[in-house]
């Protein structure tokens, strides 16, 4: 197994070297071909998907997980549409980050180049297979994909389409490969391939992310849990508070940017809290006011609520219990908003809006490969730019260093 994984990585490395110098129009032609092939191959994909769903039902997977796993025609169309959007997006490779001319006449540029080989380890949703491949290749990278075992047949069908279309466009078919073994052990071997893998991205449940982080010898950008807070400050408009809190909690409780803990200014507990709680309970939400609920990612219709003495206590609570994902304040007070933006340390701070906006599409990035809660390299929604690195280019006319 180790040998097979190493071979996969070596092929990816060679493909990455070739892809790094492929111009945008050829990568975009591939993406358009992928979109078309997805439409043309619906029968095969749906067949694989229903086989996966049947097996999942037999093995007793929950309905929620089966729903994430299953593809239908509409979902395939949505994946194809996403790929076309990536084709339309600006190619980040070659982009000039900075240019200066030194006193000795040297022209110094910093430009964007591909990262190299990316290992993507993820769970249930098979759409990630296509999205991750499309984003990685558009940014000039090779990618090794290891999806959830429940989606194995669907992922294999999608990987076959991706490889076939790469070949048809005379791009290296090893630019997108599946991990040759499905076991956890294989993941461990994969994320220890120093020098062959440039970045590992685990995306999924906390156990998976921790497993990769613990065993990796290659750099990891983590997608950890979202224990997102919202502080409702003194003087917040009641209607706005009800509207935003219910949206943040209930519009999609199972995702990482959903609200998990509401902090309410003590002076407003009487005016604001009862109608907020009423609206949440009407939406089927359970309120938990005990300390044990702090810092928990429920991913469900459950919300922790705490009364705080004011902004300082809210900031301290978030520093202690937050997960560095998304932290919001609702306030009419510009000074308090400024302190929140400045003093709360997380990937995305939000003022007077729903936590649910922390998302690549909503923030204007287009497709994303996930939301990074790491601090190094990238933080927040990972679009094309996050899959690049830089190179310095120095152009001279015979200069030497004195």
- Distance of alpha carbon 272 from alpha carbon 79, whole angstroms: 41
Closest by Cα among 69, 70, 80 to 37: 80
CB 306, min distance to a second copy, A: 21
Say if residues 173 and 163 touch (Cβ distance below 8 Å).
yes
Say if residues 223 and 257 touch (Cβ distance below 8 Å).
no
Closest by Cα among 180, 189, 95 to 384: 95
Closer by beta carbon to a second copy, 76 or else 117? 117
CB 100, min distance to a second copy, A: 5
- Return phi, psi of residue 43, to 5°: -55, -50
Residues 73-112 that bind a second copy (CB under 8 A): 100, 102, 106, 108, 110
- List the one residue from 358, 367, 383, 384 that touches a second copy (CB under 8 A): 358
Say if residues 45 and 38 touch (Cβ distance below 8 Å).
yes
The yes or no reply on residue 374 touching a second copy (CB under 8 A) is yes
Say if residues 18 and 127 touch (Cβ distance below 8 Å).
no
Q: Which SS3 state, helix, strand or coil, does residue 201 take? A: strand
Closer by beta carbon to a second copy, 22 or else 46? 22
Residues 17-56 that bind a second copy (CB under 8 A): 17, 20-21
Per rule CB under 8 A, count of chain residues that contact a second copy: 70
CB 109, min distance to a second copy, A: 9
CB 251, min distance to a second copy, A: 6
Residues 284-323 that bind a second copy (CB under 8 A): 319
SS (H, E, C) 189-249: HHCCCCCCCCEEEEECCHHHHHHHHHHCCCCECCECCCCEEEEECCCCCHHHHHHHHHHHH
Closer by beta carbon to a second copy, 144 or else 347? 347
Query: What are the beta bridge partners of residue 328?
Result: 230, 350
Closer by beta carbon to a second copy, 239 or else 290? 239
For a second copy, the binding residues (CB under 8 A) are: 17, 20-21, 100, 102, 106, 108, 110, 113, 115-116, 194, 198-199, 213-214, 217, 219-221, 237, 240, 243-244, 247-248, 251, 319, 337, 341-343, 345-354, 356-359, 362-364, 374-381, 389-401
């Amino acid at each position: 197994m180790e040998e097979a994984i190493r071979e996969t990585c070596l092929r990816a490395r060679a493909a990455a070297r070739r892809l790094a110098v492929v111009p945008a129009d050829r990568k975009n032609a591939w993406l358009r071909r992928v979109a078309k092939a997805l439409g043309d191959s619906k029968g095969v994909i749906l067949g694989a998907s229903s086989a996966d769903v049947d097996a999942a039902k037999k093995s007793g997977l929950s309905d929620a997980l089966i729903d994430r796993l299953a593809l239908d025609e509409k979902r395939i169309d949505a994946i194809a549409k996403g790929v076309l959007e990536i084709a339309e997006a600006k190619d980040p490779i070659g982009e000039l980050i900075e240019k200066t001319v030194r006193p000795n006449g040297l022209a110094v540029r910093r430009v964007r180049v591909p990262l190299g080989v990316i290992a993507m380890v993820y769970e249930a949703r098979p759409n990630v297979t296509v999205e991750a491949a499309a984003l990685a290749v558009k940014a000039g990278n090779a990618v090794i994909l290891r999806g959830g075992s429940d989606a194995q047949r669907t992922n294999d069908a999608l990987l076959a389409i991706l490889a076939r279309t790469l070949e048809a466009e005379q791009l290296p078919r090893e630019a997108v490969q599946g991990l040759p073994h499905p076991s956890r052990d294989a993941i461990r071997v994969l994320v220890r391939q120093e020098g062959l893998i440039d970045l590992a991205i685990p995306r999924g449940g906390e156990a998976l992310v921790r497993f990769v982080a613990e065993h990796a010898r290659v750099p990891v950008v983590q997608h950890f849990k979202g224990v997102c807070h919202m502080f409702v400050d003194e003087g917040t408009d009641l209607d706005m508070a009800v509207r935003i809190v219910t949206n943040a909690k209930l519009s999609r409780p199972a995702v990482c940017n959903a609200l998990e803990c509401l902090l309410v200014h003590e002076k407003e507990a009487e005016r604001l809290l009862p109608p907020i709680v009423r609206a949440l309970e009407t939406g089927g939400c359970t309120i938990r006011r005990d300390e044990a609920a702090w810092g928990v990612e429920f991913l469900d219709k459950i919300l922790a609520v705490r009364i705080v003495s004011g902004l300082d206590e809210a900031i301290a609570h978030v520093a202690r219990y937050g997960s560095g994902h998304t932290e919001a304040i609702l306030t009419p007070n510009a000074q308090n908003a400024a302190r929140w933006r400045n003093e709360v340390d997380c990937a995305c701070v939000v003022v007077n809006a729903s936590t649910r906006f922390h998302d690549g599409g909503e923030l204007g990035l287009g497709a994303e490969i996930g939301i990074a809660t790491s601090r190094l390299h990238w933080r927040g929604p990972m679009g094309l730019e996050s899959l690049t690195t830089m190179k310095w280019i120095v152009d001279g006319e015979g200069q030497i260093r004195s």
